Amino acid sequence: MVGQIGKRQNMLNPQNTFYSVKRFIGSKMTDLDAEFTKMPYQVRADENSNILLECPAMNRTFRPEEISAQVLRRLAENAEKHIGQTVDKAVITVPAYFNDSQRQATQDAGKIAGLEVLRIINEPTAASLAYGLDKNTNEVILVFDLGGGTFDVSILDVGDGIFEVLSTSGDTRLGGDNFDKLMIDYLLNEFTKKTDVDLSTDPTSLQRVVGAAEKAKIDLSTLVQTTVKLPFLMEGTQHLEEVITREKFEEICGDLISRCRIPVETALKDANLSKDQINQVVLVGGSTRIPAIQSLIKDVLSTEPNQSVNPDEVVAIGAAIQAGILSGEVKDILLLDVTPLSLGVETLGGIFSPMIQRNTTIPTKTTETFSTAMDNQPSVEIKIFQGEREFAKDNKSLGVFTLSGIEPARRGVPQIEVTFDIDVNGVLSVTAQDKGTGKQQNITISGASNLDQNEIDKMVSDAEQFAETDKEKSSEVALQNQVDMLCYQLEKKAELLDLTEELQEKVTNAITSCREILQSQDLTNLAPEYEKLQQIYSEVLGQNKTNENV
Ligand SMILES: Nc1ncnc2c1ncn2[C@@H]1O[C@H](COP(=O)(O)OP(=O)(O)OP(=O)(O)O)[C@@H](O)[C@H]1O
Ligand SMILES: [Mg+2]
């Protein structure tokens, strides 16, 4: 199950609920810090350091591409229902910072979902498409995208139907989830201070705190104060009630808020612009609704941000416009994107020689001539890297291939022409040619994902198979959610009303036994217990009426 229903499931079953897999797609375990891979679900690597997500409930592992495919499939199905037509092609957006392998893996996810991926575009580019469509004048736009897990800043030159990305920057570990985490820690700590009870030891209580923390954060975007109220924690024995003011929230999350300043400044520097040269600031991502974030933007850029398009939808709207361009329905827009990181080869002494500088507009192609390092060298190894560091080893390795059959010659004599070619999707292919013999070798970077067609085919059929089990599972989960919801509602009602002791006891018992079943994951008795719960709910409502009549 995907979406809200999945998010609710997360409350009860954290080890088997995957979220934020975007942070793993197309990366190898060796690319990531250990801290980055700490999730409620288990993340491990296979023998090639490819990332696997462990699903104990199904006793199998998933590649991040497969989970993304499930999300894409669901989005396509939702769209199908809405427009009444089959959806088999897609434009997918990715963070501007995604490197080549992450883009490739995203494309694979689309294939697994049975979609033909027409184009991968950068999220800020999509956002500015959504904003810039009707503008004729030339404008420099800064896109500030603070979502759930990542933060991206991009500066674009938009005008006369052309969108050119001038620079990109970001923080791949900053998003709404971090704010939630700090709020959760705060609530847990305050609770322990007051009661000496550690709620984090009980998964159900913890998940309720997690949900309440995000809700409080969201409330504080519109309210100056909110109360977190969680009765009947720790199997009904504990009640949490905590008032949080917006000021307190800003104090708790102060460091996160100020971290947002750095990528903005880096992006300005990379684009060689001062803040006065930014004509518009566009907000993207749910977390830009946080008032302190909006104040920070005003403070750093001295501009009132533009919020005329809903920050949750703006990227999707841009992708739809791109799809319109590709299908010929939207005319007169030319889209220019850039490479987020420099691409090049390793040369003598392990030095990284960039062939394509970061922020170069794509598609692009460049050729340079290299030679041998030793006399009579029969072959050269072309090692391709991506990054900004001086030494190749400090950058990300994208691939390697060998050009052999070079005729014996003194070192420095053979001429090896190396060509880097990036297509419209940002996918790189590298060719090496020996000018002497005309021999040629090339490689399309299949990246960290390394999925071959067989693997993709298998994943496609797996995905189809899951569609079936998903349907079965989803009715079960729907019942779980209903029970969970009714427990909450009943609890709230009971709190408000002055119930007889007898009825209060019934309520507590019914809620406790339902929660026990939910937690145990053995759902055999859930349906009859739900019925009982419904009956008691009516009784409570009945007593309410009697009270009102008195
Ligand atoms: N009103 C609000 N105030 C504060 N935060 C909000 C509000 N509404 C949504 N959020 C937060 O926005 C985040 C989700 O934003 P969004 O949908 O843009 O993320 P995403 O695109 O899925 O994530 P990412 O771009 O990091 O991959 C969540 O952390 C959510 O709690
Ligand atoms: Mg986003």
Query: How does pLDDT run across 180-216, given as a tens digit for each residue?
Result: 999 999 999 999 999 999 998 887 788 789 889 999 9
Taking every pair of C-alpha atoms in the chain, what is the biggest distance, in angstroms? 106
Query: Which atom of ligand 1 is closest in space to residue 22's alpha carbon?
Result: 27
Handedness of CA 445, 97, 68, 308 (dihedral sign): negative
Domains of the chain: 1-114 (3.30.420.40), 176-256 (3.90.640.10), 339-444 (2.60.34.10), 465-549 (1.20.1270)
Banded pLDDT at 334 (limits 50, 70, 90): low
CA distance 466 to 530: 28
Amino acid at 471: K
User: Which pLDDT does position 396 carry in this prediction?
Assistant: 79
Using DSSP's 3-state secondary structure scheme, residue 197 falls into coil
Ligand 1 neighbourhood includes 287 CB (under 6 angstroms): yes
**Sequence-separated (6 or more) residues with CB below 8 Å from residue 473:** 1
383 touches ligand 1 (CB under 6 Å): no
Instruction: Lay out the sheet containing 380-386: strands in order across.
Output: 351-356, 343-347, 380-386, 396-403
Average pLDDT over residues 517-526: 84
User: What DSSP element (H or E) covers 428?
Assistant: strand 428-434
Q: Which residues is 353 bridged to in the sheet?
A: 345
For residue range 126-161, list pLDDT tens digits in order. Answer: 988 888 754 557 889 999 999 988 899 999 887 766
Retrieve residue 268's tokens.
């300005």
| CA-CA-CA-CA dihedral for 531, 532, 538, 541, to nearest 10 | -130
Task: Give the distance, in angstroms, between the CA of residue 501 and the centroid of all CA atoms in the same chain.
Answer: 49
Question: Is the beta carbon of 23 within 6 A of some atom in ligand 1?
Answer: no
SS3 116: strand
- Ligand 1 centroid–CA 544 distance in Å is 39
Task: Give the orientation angle of helix 176-195 with respect to helix 203-219, to 10 degrees.
Answer: 120
User: Measured between alpha carbons, how far is 87 from 78 in angstroms, rounded to an integer?
Assistant: 10
Q: What is the pLDDT of residues 73-130, one digit of tens each?
A: 999 999 999 999 999 999 999 987 788 889 999 999 999 999 999 999 889 889 888 8
Position 256 pLDDT exceeds 60: yes
Q: How far, in whole angstroms, is CA 419 from its chain's centroid?
A: 33
Q: Mutation test of ligand 1: which of 152, 218, 284, 317 has the most ligand atoms closer than 8 Å to its C-beta?
A: 218
Averaged pLDDT of the chain:
86
> Cα separation of 104 and 446, whole Å?
7
Return the SS3 of 521. Answer: coil
Cα Rg, the chain, nearest whole Å: 27
Instruction: Identify the DSSP state of 454.
Output: H
**pTM of this prediction?**
0.67
Please state, in angstroms and rounded to a whole number, the distance separating the CA atoms of residues 48 and 338: 30
What local confidence, expressed as pLDDT, does residue 146 receive? 95
Given CA atoms 472, 474, 478, 481 in this order, what sign does their dihedral have?
Answer: positive
Going by C-alpha positions, the residue among 57, 67, 42 that lies closest to residue 463 is 67
Respond yes or no on whether the N-terminal peptide bond of residue 363 is cis (omega within 30° of 0): yes
What's the mean pLDDT in 363-373?
88
Q: From 93, 183, 287, 290, give the residue whose CB has the most ligand 1 atoms within 8 Å, as the site to mutate.
A: 287
**Coil, strand, or helix at residue 395?**
coil
Q: Which residues contact 459 (CB under 8 A, 6 or more apart)?
A: 63, 65, 66, 69, 112, 451
Bigger pLDDT: 449 vs 403: 403
Dihedrals phi, psi of 45, to nearest 5 degrees: -120, 150
Q: Where are the beta strands (DSSP E) in 65-150?
A: 89-94, 116-122, 139-146
Q: Report d(CA 447, CA 399) in Å as an integer.
A: 7
Query: Separation of 152 CA from ligand 2 center, angstroms?
Result: 9
**Which is it for strands 139-146 and 280-284: parallel, antiparallel or unpaired?**
parallel
Q: Say if ligand 1 is within 6 A of residue 426 CB.
A: no
Q: How far is the CA of 169 from the centre of ligand 2 (A)?
A: 14
Q: Which residue has the higher pLDDT, 40 or 389?
A: 40
Q: Taking the mean position of all CA atoms in its chain, how far away is CA 197? A: 34
Q: CA–CA separation, 305 vs 353, rounded Å?
A: 39
Q: Nearest ligand to the C-alpha of residue 290?
A: 1
What is the 465 CA–ligand 1 centroid distance (Å)? 31
Q: Is the distance from the beta carbon of residue 217 to the nearest atom of ligand 1 less than 6 Å?
A: yes
More confident residue, 127 or 12: 127
pLDDT at 447: 41
Q: Which atom of ligand 1 is nearest to the CA of 311?
A: 18
Residue bearing tokens 């009971």: 494
Residues 331-358 have a mean pLDDT of 77
Q: Which of 62, 251, 297, 256 is nearest to 150 (CA)?
A: 256
Closest listed residue to residue 360, CA positions, set 386, 339, 389: 339
Mapped onto helix, strand or coil, the DSSP state of residue 413 is: coil
Pairing of strands 280-284, 334-338: unpaired
How is residue 329 annotated by DSSP?
S
Rounded to an integer, what distance in angstroms lies between the CA atom of residue 460 and that of residue 454? 10
353 Cβ contact partners less than 8 Å away, ≥ 6 residues apart: 344, 345, 346, 347, 368
- Residue that has been written with the tokens 């550690």 in this structure: 198
The answer, yes or no, to whether any atom of ligand 1 lies below 6 A from the CB of 150, is: yes
Backbone phi, then psi, for 356, in 5-degree steps?
-125, 120
Give the burial class of 502: count Cβ atoms within 10 A of its Cβ; 0-12 exposed, 13-18 middle, 19 or more buried. Answer: exposed
pLDDT digit string, tens, across residues 387-436:
777 778 877 788 888 998 889 988 888 999 999 998 877 778 899 999 98
| Residues with CB in 5 Å of ion ligand 2 | 147
Helices (H), 135-237: 176-195, 203-219, 233-236
